Structure 1
């Protein structure tokens, strides 16, 4: 498992599964000859996208960023359509660190689309049960409201199987939630309630832009997904936080990237440091 050690915090990427989605959808209006130079696709035009939660350990607490694709949640048709050929191995990842699912104190949800939220619950007979029974699940209020009452577009990704069992664990916030040197900040864009994670740990800064910059290949502020509900909001948020990170030499971390866990860029957009994903 890859790690990123900060002054007082440690990030570890866990195995949350994988899906393979259409490259055109993931890069929106960007022509294929451009994006495939940065992120190759298979013969079906799909690109590999990890769904790997990030464990953040600081001040004696364990926080998880998003929850993975889960286990036993997708139908055969969904697995085929989403290219989900690997389910979560979260318990095994935590076991290697001497932890269990019961040791997670907070789950920070950047948003509640199925590929981020399926790992919150698991089948339990004819019902579902929480995966992290002792955790508070932190999510933006707008996102939580839409999760429970999706519209005609979002009902394909906001599923009752992913929220009903954890209803009592959820803690919502409006603009910002903080714990120590970590903040969960509402941006909107990819979804109306989408949020990013910011860690400012003495001289170290980490920005996790979640699905407004899902991979290193989405560095260009105009390269946003066709899946984004509010693409201009995504562009504005990415422009703001990308520049913020460049100005303070921040690490940019990823949940979906199959090549890099974290990168640093200089002001010219060149990679200066990386944490590659071990394959």
Structure 2
């Protein structure tokens, strides 16, 4: 099994929204912000090569936004960065066998769509990929609440539904993936978010998605302004961190500006953190 960290399109988002319950005097010590109060965030994806299959965990925000929307949401690059990252490893979009989505917010799922064009409707970029998402996350995407409706992409939902390649899971395993992969579920950020645990050669690795988007959010009390149920999220985070700490497990971070993965560690003062941080896998 081989794990490869891939960069997708990056974003600059409001630091106050990303650190919803922490004051700026605290969070600006962790991440620098620009004059618009925005911090730099990656949309990092994980490629797992296993038993002859290319398994992609998330696709980032991609380049599907029209220019005005790209500016609104702070997407930094006009081109589809994930496709270029895959090309560096000599992998074409049609070579991806499976895509595992934690949830379908646009900054995680937009990369499944082709780049914006004035006169061409979007299409699915990964033409052969089977797409895995939880049933609860799918239901949320097609029937969102008014609070998070803008986070979803109706065009993507329609394309996935008619593709014949959408797999909506409810249990902890998927036959497509096999026994080396199992799902944890989280509802705090959005209902039905899948956190996939990968049994790698170096121990368990959990794709942390938006439960723990980066190293700073390993601090248990932190939550984002985007989280639907912050208290539930904090409890979910504490349970996962305690479990991984006991098993010397690792977290893969999708939004951290520089760190791709780290090992969960419980410090002397009873606070969780990550050690053995690495920028690439």
TM-score normalised according to structure 1 size:
0.90
Q: CA deviation at 1:92?
A: 2.1
Structure 2 stretches lacking a partner, 5+ long: none
Tell me the distance in 1 between the aligned counterparts of 2:217 and 2:274. 13
The Cα offsets for residues 69-92 of structure 1, whole Å up to 9 and x where unpaired, read as 122x21233222211112432222
Tell me the distance in 2 between the aligned counterparts of 1:175 and 1:20. 35
Matched length:
269
Q: 1:174-213 residue pairs with structure 2 within 5 A?
A: 174-178=170-174, 179-180=177-178, 181-201=180-200, 203-213=202-212
The aligned counterpart of 1:6 is none
Tell me the distance in 1 between the aligned counterparts of 2:202 and 2:8. 30
The match for 1:169 among 165, 169, 173 is 165
Tell me the distance in 2 between the aligned counterparts of 1:77 and 1:253. 31
Tell me the distance in 2 between the aligned counterparts of 1:61 and 1:169. 16
Q: Which 4+ runs in 1 deviate beyond 6 A?
A: none
Tell me the distance in 2 between the aligned counterparts of 1:153 and 1:270. 31
The aligned counterpart of 1:84 is 75
Are 1:38 and 2:17 matched, yes or no?
no
Tell me the distance in 2 between the aligned counterparts of 1:274 and 1:257. 11
Tell me the distance in 2 between the aligned counterparts of 1:137 and 1:176. 16
Please tell me whether the aligned partners of residues 192 and 230 of structure 1 are also in contact (alpha carbons under 8 angstroms): no
Tell me the distance in 2 between the aligned counterparts of 1:141 and 1:60. 27
Tell me the distance in 2 between the aligned counterparts of 1:231 and 1:266. 23
The aligned counterpart of 2:3 is 11
Q: CA deviation at 1:270?
A: 5.0
Tell me the distance in 2 between the aligned counterparts of 1:277 and 1:200. 18
Tell me the distance in 1 between the aligned counterparts of 2:183 and 2:48. 13
Please tell me whether the aligned partners of residues 175 and 186 of structure 1 are also in contact (alpha carbons under 8 angstroms): no
Q: CA deviation at 1:262?
A: 0.7
2:29 aligns to what SS in structure 1? helix
Tell me the distance in 1 between the aligned counterparts of 2:90 and 2:120. 31
The structure-2 alpha-carbon separation of the partners of 1:270 and 1:194, relative to structure 1 and needing over 3 Å to count, comes to closer
1:260 aligns to what SS in structure 2? coil
Please tell me whether the aligned partners of residues 56 and 63 of structure 1 are also in contact (alpha carbons under 8 angstroms): yes
More displaced 10-residue stretch of structure 1: 227-236 or 162-171: 162-171
More displaced 10-residue stretch of structure 1: 101-110 or 201-210: 201-210
Relative to its length, the structure with more strand (as a share) is 1
Please tell me whether the aligned partners of residues 68 and 88 of structure 1 are also in contact (alpha carbons under 8 angstroms): no
Q: CA RMSD in A?
A: 1.9
Please tell me whether the aligned partners of residues 96 and 126 of structure 2 are also in contact (alpha carbons under 8 angstroms): yes
Please tell me whether the aligned partners of residues 61 and 107 of structure 2 are also in contact (alpha carbons under 8 angstroms): yes
Q: CA deviation at 1:128?
A: 2.3
The aligned counterpart of 1:3 is none
Tell me the distance in 2 between the aligned counterparts of 1:29 and 1:261. 24
The match for 1:98 among 90, 95, 98 is 90
Tell me the distance in 1 between the aligned counterparts of 2:103 and 2:273. 29
The aligned counterpart of 2:56 is 64
Q: CA deviation at 1:130?
A: 1.1
TM-score normalised according to structure 2 size:
0.89
Q: CA deviation at 1:264?
A: 1.8
Please tell me whether the aligned partners of residues 218 and 273 of structure 2 are also in contact (alpha carbons under 8 angstroms): no
Q: CA deviation at 1:155?
A: 1.5
Q: CA deviation at 1:185?
A: 2.6
Tell me the distance in 2 between the aligned counterparts of 1:18 and 1:270. 24
